[in-house]
Structure 1
Amino acid sequence: MSSFIFQENKLRAFTESVFHAMGCSEEHAVLAADVLITSDLRGIDSHGVARLSGYIRLWKKHRINPNPNIRIVHETASTATVDGDGGLGLIVAPFAMKLAMEKAEKYGSGWVSVRNSNHFGIAGYHAMQAVSKDMIGIAMTNASPLVAPTFTTERLLGTNPMCYAFPAGKYPPVVVDMATATAANGKLEIAQREGKQIPEGWVQTKTGLPTSDAHALKTGGSLLPLGSDRDHGSHKGFGLSATVDILTSILSGANYGPWVPPFVAFLDPLPDLPGEGIGHFHGAMRIDGFRPAADFKSHMDRWIERFKAAVPIDPDQPVIIPGEPEAEAEKIRRVEGIPLSEPVVKDLEALAELLGIEKL
């Protein structure tokens, strides 16, 4: 499938104009665009500008408040709960992450749960904010139910990503950013746009059979937890996803499990829900609360070097450190530009026409 290359600044300006058209302030438009562009720069194409039309659909259904009153509704010295007032998760989550870091600066660690938010982009964007402050960053979110727990075909959980970001010294940070499903829904969307099949083990049909059809969710199928099936550890993926769901929602007062609102606006009106919006959870820990930060980062470098030196099964495929492919992609794309597939470009052109803004 053909693709088009766009320079970062052009794509960033277009994305900001979309958020301006929604009614976001200049500050919020710049921040929201930064979250999406960072995703594209790091090669996570499923969560970058390809998501813009989804945000617009939600906004048109009054599911997103473009000017939220984000506020702290419960707080102790090192913890807080934030109400996002239905705002873009791209705005609400950075507010919460900043608060967690401020608390960590004072008390060693900070922990913030969030309710009444929306899709927040890649978890890595938020967790990585702590790295420059010599902190370990944590970010996670629940999501609309597309995943069937082990032994069922019923969609009860989201892909529920989690991220841990660890600073290093001379190397890029180690960033463990992953869905707790075998594959994120965005991977299916990419396969759909490219007309490709997906590996078996990502999804099951509505009767629980394995399938390689990228459109299986549209016919009642479901994503599978990390591990795919019980023999390969899907109960562990289910446990990780459950952990994210509990920390992000039951702790904060957000919706959980099958009641998490969908990213698309096909439920109108939404059914009676037990909580408010989507939930996130953010954490920051000062490294010098455990040992001097310079010592930690020196040993992180040694850790990275030892794992990179591991004897490979295939000499052409060395061990990949978590976050390494994304860091490499960012170096390349900042210079060479960001590739967008033809369907995404057409989608953005239609979006520009709809909103009356300049096309790419």
Structure 2
Amino acid sequence: MAQNNETVYAHFDEMHEFMCQAFIAAGVPPEDAKVCADVLIESDKRGIDSHGVGRLKPIYLDRIKEGIQFVKTNFEIVRETPSTAVIDGHDGMGHVIGVRSMNMAIEKAKKCGLAMVVVRNSTHYGIAGYYALMAAKENMICFTGTNARPSIAPTFGVENMLGTNPLTIGFPTDEEFPFVIDCATSITQRGKIEHYARINKTMPAGWVIDGKGNAVTDPNIALKGLVAGTCALTPVGGIGDELAGYKGYGWATVVEVLSAALQGGSFLKTLTGINADGSHRPYHLGHWFIAIKIEAFTDPGAFKKTSGDILRELRASKKAEGQSRIYTAGEKEYIAYLDRSKKGIPLNPAVRTSLEAARDEWKVKFTFSWEK
């Protein structure tokens, strides 16, 4: 049995099975529960601990319990053409909405060359990179993004207005892993701050600012402030425009517009998830998915060879003093996958406590490996 202060490792299958059972216990249909678990476990497999099993209870199960996320997903096609679609997710399971929407974009792109599917009234859809991986497996390029509850302050501002709004791009290469750039348009995202709070670690200065524009380094203060509106994340580039914070601000705005304007969705302060009386409500998030069929432009093999050559040349370029290697997007995640395939997913005491609480609350009959 694990000690209270140690990190333990759990196999992919164990965590996937538990999440499936927990979602089913909460009322999610079994087929949809598997989709949700697939998206979450992919995050842990790739070393993205901020978006994996640690979010099962606080982000998904707790919202289901509050009634602000619905277990049965009503996937409504509002408008459709051969290469486009507008979807209303009716605040169902974001992972299910995301996977169905990405699959729709892929199938349309197979016929038309390019396709775009946009979504309104959805919920958190996990790591955006999951959908890029789906497209890469089909020899397609993917662009996807989602808005989120307000977190980022505009450059020269201190009020949290924009979500962390990932701008994600992926495509296949001739290497063992695709190129996937999946990151927030803020310097960091709320999930990483939650991770720092769980491990009781101070954040780097510059990630979060208070109402006067001063850096906040205590993750617990930051999390409370982000909810209360007294703290905000900084955009990629950081505070002000000296290091080009306006670039991250601009990219976040692009994602916000594409997540709301095409589908008639909610945006900015309407995504707080909080009513005027302080009660919680659905977040009504928007997503968008673009799939591009490589074969419509060139031979997929040639595309993957050129892409791979570019990435290999970048990694082989001259390194800074003291640095052993250069990485390209998707490489670190692939390395993490190889390592975790052998060792398992690292679970610190806070995450284990959260998983045990979820099991007990939803009366899931499950014994974790660390309890044996």
What TM-score, normalized to structure 1? Answer: 0.95
Q: Aligned residue for 2:203?
A: 198
1:243 aligns with 2:250: no
Question: What letter corresponds to residue 12 of structure 2 in structure 1?
Answer: E
Q: Deviations over 1:123-148 (max 9, x none)?
A: 00011101111100122111101111
CA distance in 2, matches of 1:206, 1:215: 16
Question: What is the aligned partner in structure 2 of residue 304 from structure 1?
Answer: 311
Residue equivalent to 1:338: 345
* Equivalent in the alignment of 1:107: 112
Q: 1:88 matched to which residue of 2?
A: 93
2:143 corresponds, among 106, 131, 138, to: 138
Runs of 5+ consecutive residues of structure 2 not aligned to the other structure: none
Distance 2:273 2:328 in 1: 33
Q: Which residue does 1:227 correspond to in 2? A: 237
Choose which of 118, 123, 127 in structure 1 pairs with 2:128. Answer: 123
- For the 8 Å contact 2:73–2:96, the answer to whether it is kept is no
1:40 counterpart residue number:
44
**Residue 25 of structure 2 is aligned to residue 21 of structure 1:** yes
Structure 1 residues 173-217: Cα deviation after superposition (integer angstroms, max 9, x where no partner): 110111000101111111111111111110001221122222233
Would you say the 8 A contact 2:68–2:280 is kept in 1? no
**Match for 1:48: what amino acid?**
G
- Which residue type is aligned with residue 231 of structure 2? G
d(CA) in 1 for partners of 2:17, 2:281: 33
- 1:174 pairs, out of 173, 179, 186, with 179
The amino acid across from 1:39 in the alignment is: S
Structure 2 distance, partners of 1:237, 1:133, is: 30
Q: Quick check: 2:89–2:122 contact (8 Å CA) kept in 1?
A: yes
Aligned to 1:321, which of 328, 352, 369? 328
> Quick check: 1:261–1:278 contact (8 Å CA) kept in 2?
no
Corresponding position: 1:356 with 2:363: yes
Match of 1:189 among 156, 172, 194: 194
2:320 aligned counterpart, secondary structure = coil
SS at match of 1:345: helix
Separation (CA, whole Å) in 2 of partners of 1:185 and 1:18:
24
TM-score under structure 2 normalisation?
Answer: 0.92
SS of corresponding position for 1:339: strand
The verdict on how the C-alpha distance between 1:267 and 1:117 changes in structure 2, with shifts beyond 3 A counting, is: farther
Work out the CA distance in 2 between the residues paired with 1:135 and 1:141.
20
| Deviations, residues 318-345 of structure 1 (Å, cap 9, x unaligned) | 2110111111111111221111111010
Taking the aligned partners of 1:19 and 1:204, their CA distance within structure 2 comes to 36
Higher mean C-alpha deviation, range 62-71 or range 173-182:
62-71
Is contact 1:143-1:262 (8 Å) kept?
A: no
Contact 2:120 2:265 in 1 (8 A): yes
In structure 1, how many angstroms separate the alpha carbons of the residues matched to 2:72 and 2:124? 16
- 2 CA distance for matches of 1:58 and 1:215? 20
1:349 partner letter: E
Could you tell me how far 1:269 is from its partner in structure 2? 4.7
1:213 aligns with: 218
Deviation at residue 2 of structure 1 after TM alignment: 2.8
Are residue 347 (structure 1) and residue 354 (structure 2) matched?
yes
Query: CA distance change for structure 1 residues 62 and 296 in 2, over 3 Å: closer, same or farther?
Result: same
- 1:161-180 deviations in whole A, cap 9, x for unaligned? 12111100133111011100
Paired residue type of 2:244:
G
Please tell me whether the aligned partners of residues 103 and 109 of structure 1 are also in contact (alpha carbons under 8 angstroms).
yes
Superposed, which structure 2 residues align to 1:271-282 within 5 Å? 277-282=284-289
Counterparts in 2 of 1:287 and 1:267: CA distance versus 1, 3 Å = farther
Q: 2:60 aligns with which of 52, 55, 75?
A: 55
1:262 Cα deviation from its structure 2 partner: 3.8
SS in 2 for 1:232: coil
Which residue identity is paired with 1:251?
A: L
**Do the aligned residues in 2 keep the contact of 1:40 with 1:49 (CA within 8 Å)?**
yes
2:278 and 2:47 mapped to 1: Cα distance?
31
Q: 1:267: how far off?
A: 4.4
Aligned-partner SS, 1:103: helix
CA distance in 1, matches of 2:243, 2:175: 36
> What is the CA distance between 1:247 and its match in structure 2?
0.3
The gaps in structure 1 that reach 5 residues or longer are: none
1:165 partner amino acid: G
Local SS of the residue matching 1:222: strand
1:127 and 1:282 in contact (8 A); partners too: no
Aligned match of 1:6: 10
Deviation at 1:7, TM superposition (A): 0.7
Secondary structure of 1:158's counterpart equals coil
Cα pair 2:273 2:280 within 8 Å, conserved: no
Using a 3 Å threshold, how does the CA distance of structure 1 residues 289 and 8 change in structure 2: closer, same or farther? same
